Copies of this chain bind each other. A is one copy, B any other.
Amino acid sequence: MNTVAYYNGALTDSKDVLISPYDLGLVRGYAVFDVMRTFNNKPFLREDHYKRLRNSAKEMGLNVPVSSAEYAAIVDNLLRLNGFREARIRTVLTGGPSPDAYSPTGKETFFILLEKIVPLPEHIYSAGAKMITVEYYRECPRIKSTNYVAAMQHHREKVRRGAIEILYTHRGMVLEGSVSNLFMASKGRLVTPKDDILTGITRNFLIRLSKKCRIPVAERPISLKELLKADEIFMTSSTKGIIPIVSVDGTRIGRGKVGPVTSTLMDEFRKYAATY
């Protein structure tokens, strides 16, 4: 589907967002990105997303070519021009084309694409979903880079086992999902990892929301052993929200259905989003 996009300083038809085969994002994996969504056609936590993109870029030696205010204006413009009810906003920044396919020239590639949000089937939220684990430690966990090779390599296995997400584990500890963060609840208290992961925007929001709901939250390491004994597990994602997890590697979690802490937070999040 063609949409209006932003590409290197100008609005354009998305079909004209075409990338050079010498782009360092393609030939050297030199790229960072962000995905956010709208609620009521307003970008959700846009400033947080912009800041994270800028931080990731900085760590990589890349430069986001627009200010926060410019980014806000471009995104608002794209939302108006595309007129979706709700949109997913994908922002990509790469090292740009390089004549020798290796040396950065400082002429970076920057584009923003809008997509219609296609919600996941409702039963995933009402009945919960499955996760599988894969042993993997991301190279630069604090950078939202485009390196998803581990997730791609295990995609087929994930589908075959009917799972919605791959959970990365490292030396017995659970880290994060391939495109999500992880929370567990035990005895009414939430726990979520903090170190060696990308602390997602929705994860951070959930921590604030939980505190408002007087649900205690601890940010600390979680072993896989502890996780499998949790009362409840859920994952968070900027585009998918809160997804209850009822099985990890085939082990049933708690009673195998959406638990009370998860339900409460899903309700509160829905209410918050409805009036955003």
Contacts and interface: CB of A to CB of B under 8 A. Distances in A.
Interface of A: 14, 17-21, 23-31, 33, 60-61, 90, 92, 94-95, 101-104, 111, 113, 139-140, 145-153, 155-156, 179
A146 B20 contact: no
B101 A149 contact: no
A20, A27, A28, A149: residue with the most chain B Cβ atoms closer than 10 Å: A149
A146 B19 contact: no
Given A145-B149, A149-B60, A152-B60, A102 B179 contact: yes
Contact of A26 (B23, B152, B155, B156): B23
B30 A149 contact: yes
A27, A151, A156: residue with the most chain B Cβ atoms closer than 10 Å: A27
A29 B147 contact: yes
Given A21-B19, A103-B155, A139 B149 contact: yes
Nearest to A152: B30
A19 B24 contact: no
A152 B24 contact: yes
Nearest to A103: B155
Contacts of A33: 27
B92 A27 contact: yes
Contacts of A25: 26
B23 A148 contact: no
A24 B153 CA distance: 12
Contacts of A145: 29, 149
Contacts of A61: 152-153, 155-156
Nearest to A104: B155
Contacts of A146: 26-29
B20 A149 contact: no
Contacts of A60: 149, 152-153
Contacts of A139: 139, 147, 149-150
